């Protein structure tokens, strides 16, 4: 190798070492795009269902909608929770909830959630534990 090539390799090596020591992340000046399904300034989860068919849901899913365990977990971990019929008039709701209700979905019951940076729009999980596990992935 020539002297220039050796110097080049050393510069790359030292730059890599500085990058690793500095945390290895992207500089703060590069914005990371949001992957949130709806905009929000705090963690929110909306379960969208069809009231006419709610009684026909399996008990485990019904517990997400009506039980205290999921609601309690949300409250204890900073998630604002709502459960609405898909035809709920949303005149009084703030823009964030309106956008959450308008997220494209293929069926009901459906769960859409966002922490402001990321989130998902998915069929309602089958149990309280699986719903909590999904939200834990996005809890900061």
Q: pLDDT of 45-84, one tens digit each?
A: 999 999 999 989 999 999 999 999 999 999 999 999 999 9
* Region 21-41 average pLDDT: 69
Task: List the one residue out of 78, 7, 70 whose CA is nearest residue 41.
Answer: 78
Question: The whole model's pTM is what?
Answer: 0.75
Q: Among residues of the chain, what percentage have pLDDT more than 70? A: 76
The yes-or-no verdict on residue 32 having pLDDT over 90 is: no
Task: Tell me the domain boundaries of the chain.
Answer: 44-136
CATH T-level fold of 44-136: Glutaredoxin (3.40.30)
Per-residue burial over 62-75, b = 16 or more CB atoms within 10 Å of its CB, e = otherwise: ebbeeeeebbebbe
Higher pLDDT: 30 or 62? It is: 62
Per-residue burial over 28-57, b = 16 or more CB atoms within 10 Å of its CB, e = otherwise: eeeeeeeebbbebeebbbbbbbeeeebeeb
| Of the listed ranges 12-21, 105-114, 125-134, the one predicted with least confidence | 12-21
Identify how many contiguous H helices and E strands the chain contains and give both numbers: 6, 4
Whole-number average pLDDT of the chain:
86
């Amino acid at each position: 190798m020539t002297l220039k090539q050796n110097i080049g390799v050393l510069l790359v090596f030292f730059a890599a070492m500085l990058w690793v020591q500095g945390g290895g992340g992207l500089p703060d000046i590069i914005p990371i795009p949001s992957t949130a399904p709806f905009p929000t300034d705090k963690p929110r989860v909306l379960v969208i269902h069809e009231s006419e068919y709610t009684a026909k849901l399996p008990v485990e899913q019904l517990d997400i909608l009506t039980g205290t365990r999921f609601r309690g977990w949300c409250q204890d971990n900073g998630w604002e929770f709502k459960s609405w019929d898909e035809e709920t008039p949303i005149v009084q709701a703030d823009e964030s909830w309106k956008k959450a209700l308008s997220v494209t979905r293929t069926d009901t019951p459906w769960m859409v959630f966002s922490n402001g940076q990321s989130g998902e729009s998915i069929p309602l999980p089958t149990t309280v534990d699986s719903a909590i596990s999904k939200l834990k992935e996005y809890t900061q």
